[in-house]
Structure 1
């Protein structure tokens, strides 16, 4: 069952494992304490480790057709004390894989899908769909690919060559105008564009919006996130484009190798997890078979 995961799930799992040897515990805690999806009180435990207390991970279907995660014979619960349930088997398989992949110590900070499910179930900030959509759209005014530099010439050319094609694609795809700007104020995004994206986001269910907002938050870009969700970009491409200026500076001046690797793998893991969560949360019984095919 666990071998039937989509490519995004493989990305998420591989990147999460790859980053573990690269960081100290202090760096992990500092990064995760800033997560906007973790409530400081009950959700603070997401930054901790715990000795593994189970051997087997299984899924089962409970009331209302919802799926549950079982650790040995105990049902998993959320930080808020709710029964941990997900809307379909595909997402249950992906979450169970996170728990199954843990070794002697549970590293909660690598279990992004579990964290997103906890957020959707407990909704610690008590937001509705409209509030999530509004929060996501705020990134459009400060979108990564819309802010351009005027120097050095090498970076100017790089941004034009790499970001313009993505902007052209999304403007054609959604029949909108976005543009770019050298001004610190950024481009003036037309209200019609915002309304088009608002309506598009409104077509997603609550769970999928949690995942999509998470991706937007990671990439700091609505444009790149839509490109990823629409499968115009891969995870690696979206992350590289989000880090374009940083990668340029690294190529020019060098870098601290372990720190660069950690940042890259962590961003890939989180982005892949958010996209996978959005896909699996919106799937129907028919879509599930398609998504799970390798």
Structure 2
């Protein structure tokens, strides 16, 4: 298995001298050599049976190349910003008090960081409708997302869908959070309930590891795609 550079600057994957294709039979090409190496490594890790459900980078590349939902960059940005309406860390419980305090202690620092980082108002709410997100907040975050490539936006949407949180995803991308931290924060209520009532241990561990794997792959995909476009994002000033 090896990579070869194309004339347009992209990189393709060759499997046993055969060019890799997407589900729609397009030539599988990626925008950076680093991403090509990561995808090749993903294929190398497969054994006798190819398990596509474990190949998150390959899947994200296929989605970017085939674009099955036929969305352009503006549509991808709007879809990502819309996740704010149901952002996990903006929805708070009113009881029990121990969970109220846990959400405040663990989620408030991320919420406050995001408001400082982007100079916006977000807030939280115990209402089933969630907080009322100001129009300016949406505009500012949409402008920030516009600095990413279309490929990277596919990865961002994937991570947001895993964490059910745009704010945790932004924290990941700005290196404010690690994958492990973001995943645990996204599962705060579930982890609280498990500690209180217990759970089937193997099922919990499997679910947690799967979520970490998908989140890590999506985050890596975004960074590798962003590198290829020359996008430089300022790190947060603490």
TM-score where L is the length of structure 2: 0.95
- Please list every run of 5 or more consecutive structure 2 residues that lacks an aligned counterpart in the other structure: 232-238
Aligned to 1:22: none
Report 1 or 2 for greater relative contact order, CA contacts < 8 Å, sequence distance ≥ 6.
1
Give the equivalent residue in structure 1 for 2:57.
113
CA contact (8 A) 2:149 2:229 kept: no
Match of 2:30 among 74, 86, 93: 86
Measure how far apart 1:257 and its partner are: 1.1
Runs of 4 or more, structure 1, over 3 Å off, are 284-287
8 Å CA contact 2:148–2:226 kept in 1: the answer is yes
**Alignment pair present for 1:158 and 2:75:** no
1:72 has 2:10 as partner: no
Residue of structure 2 in register with 1:239 after alignment: 183
SS in 1 for 2:4: strand
Cα deviation per residue 1:175-228 (whole Å; 9 max; x = unaligned)?
000010011111111100000001011111100100011111111111100000
Q: Is 2:31–2:228's contact at 8 Å kept on the other side of the alignment?
A: no
Q: Tell me if 1:123 matches 2:123.
A: no
Given candidates 98, 104, 128, the residue that maps to 2:48 is 104
1:261 to 205, 220, 223: 205
Instruction: Report the alpha carbon displacement of residue 105 of structure 1 after superposing the two structures with TM.
Output: 1.0
Alignment partner of 1:134 is 2:78 = yes
**Structure 1 residues 227-264: Cα deviation after superposition (integer angstroms, max 9, x where no partner):** 00000000000000000000000000000112111111
Task: Name structure 1 gaps, 5 residues minimum.
Answer: 1-56, 288-294
Alignment partner of 1:227: what SS? helix
Q: What secondary structure does 1:139 align onto? A: helix
Which residues of 2 match residues 1-294 of structure 1 at below 5 A?
A: 57-284=1-228
The residue number in structure 2 matching 1:9 is: none
| Per-residue deviation, residues 19-65 of structure 1 (Å, max 9, x unmatched) | xxxxxxxxxxxxxxxxxxxxxxxxxxxxxxxxxxxxxx211112212
Q: Distance in 2 between matches of 1:180 and 1:186?
A: 7
Residues of 1 paired with 2:229 and 2:41: CA distance? 20
Alpha-carbon separation, structure 2, partners of 1:85 and 1:276: 17
Q: CA deviation at 1:286?
A: 7.8
User: How far 1:152 moved relative to its partner?
Assistant: 0.7
Question: CA separation in 1, counterparts of 2:204 and 2:229?
Answer: 40
SS at match of 1:69: strand
Deviation at 1:284, TM superposition (A): 3.9
TM-score between both structures, scaled by the size of structure 1: 0.77
Distance in 1 between the 2:92 and 2:216 partners? Answer: 26
